[in-house]
Amino acid sequence: MVRRKYLFPQVIELNYQAGRKLGVNVYLIDGGEEYLLIDIGFEDTVPEIIDLIRAMDFSVSKCKMIIATHADADHIQGLRRAKEMFKTKIAAHPLSVGPLESGDAVQTYASIAAQNIEIPMPACKVDVLLNEGDTIEVGKAKLHVWHTPGHTPGQLSFRMGNLLFSGDNIYKDSCVGVIDAHHGSNLPDFIQSLQRILHDDSEYLLPSHGPCFKRDRKIIQKAIDRLTQYQYMADFGTCAVSWPLLDEWEADIIAGKLPKFN
């Protein structure tokens, strides 16, 4: 038997529980007579996660569902294997269904040829659709579903009491989930999601990567300010909404103006 290490009441994070890094943060929400998992991580760690859950005296058959916060490989590559081993349901936002059920390697970040990243991406059927405003009941616990797009179209967050499971929206160092056109990043949506988190009154944020942290407006605002600038920078390609320098240059060409060198 392994002693259960509750991060907060009803919340166990399995990296902390194991005392070693299993990959993405995997949260177990303990509702008493049943539980659910938020994300599952990579396929090769699924048996280790199941062994750990059993060692904490949770029955595998009592897992109500496994939620995919979004369809990135580091969060969901192990979903199909976990679904088979837990014999449970998979839940996700409707906009995550396409890449999950097709196993699209590009949209899920399983294939990044330029960096020699090529991992299998098993397709997985989604059983439960989670939409903005839904409530998930798991035993005595309730999670309120937020749709927080920007990092990906189907990114979800969850409010439970004074806790916000914030996915890849914001981390303790003010960084955010990767911004990339291949998996549908959208900067205006991302900023809107961060604004929502900024104005929420949750006390603690539990991200999908790195440590949980006490809510700090400065951390969130720093990310908002940075992403607001990104919208007008060519660095972010088609994720940017415009490039003011190019607009100015085009106007000068049309007006017959030569460039100024000072």
pLDDT, one tens digit per residue, over 207-231 is 999 999 999 999 999 999 999 999 9
**What pLDDT is attached to residue 183?**
85
Residue 207 belongs to a domain = yes
Structural domain harbouring 141: 11-231
User: Average pLDDT, stretch 236-258?
Assistant: 91
DSSP-derived pairing of the beta strands 135-138 and 141-147: antiparallel
Tokens 């914001």 belong to residue: 170
Task: Give the tens place of pLDDT for each residue, 199-209.
Answer: 999 999 999 99
3-state secondary structure of 92: strand
Tokens 């005392």 belong to residue: 19
CATH number at residue 159: 3.60.15.10
Confidence of residue 262 (pLDDT cuts 50, 70, 90): confident
Domain tally for the chain? Answer: 1
Residue 249 belongs to a domain = no
Cβ within 8 Å of residue 16, ≥6 positions away: 5, 7
Report whether pLDDT(61) > 90.
Answer: yes
**What pLDDT is attached to residue 259?**
87
- Alpha-carbon span 144 to 134, nearest angstrom: 6
Angle, vertex CA 78, rays to CA 27 and CA 151, nearest 5: 65
Cβ within 8 Å of residue 96, ≥6 positions away: 68, 70, 71, 126, 152, 153, 154
Residue 28 C-alpha from the chain's centroid: 15
Structure tokens of 100?
A: 């999950």
Residue 161 belongs to a domain = yes
**What pLDDT is attached to residue 76?**
96
Task: Give the tens place of pLDDT for each residue, 142-167.
Answer: 999 999 999 999 999 999 999 999 99
- Alpha-carbon span 53 to 160, nearest angstrom: 21
Residue 89 belongs to a domain = yes
pTM (2 decimals)?
Answer: 0.94
Residue 53 belongs to a domain = yes
User: Average pLDDT, stretch 155-180?
Assistant: 97
3-state secondary structure of 250: helix
- Alpha-carbon span 229 to 6, nearest angstrom: 39
Tokens 């809510």 belong to residue: 215
- Tell me the pLDDT of the chain averaged across its residues: 96
Residue 88 belongs to a domain = yes
Residue 255 belongs to a domain = no
**Cross-strand bridge partners of residue 91:** 67, 128
* Cα torsion 223, 229, 231, 235: sign: negative
Confidence of residue 1 (pLDDT cuts 50, 70, 90): confident
- Alpha-carbon span 247 to 262, nearest angstrom: 19
**What pLDDT is attached to residue 60?**
96
Confidence of residue 23 (pLDDT cuts 50, 70, 90): confident
Tokens 């397709």 belong to residue: 123
Residue 30 belongs to a domain = yes
**What pLDDT is attached to residue 154?**
98
- Alpha-carbon span 247 to 251, nearest angstrom: 6
Task: Give 103-114 as a DSSP string.
Answer: T-TTTTTSEEGG
User: Average pLDDT, stretch 69-80?
Assistant: 97
By residue count, the chain amounts to 262
Lowest mean pLDDT among 49-53, 70-74, 180-184, 222-226: 180-184
In the chain, % of residues over pLDDT 70: 100
Angle, vertex CA 186, rays to CA 183 and CA 187, nearest 5: 135
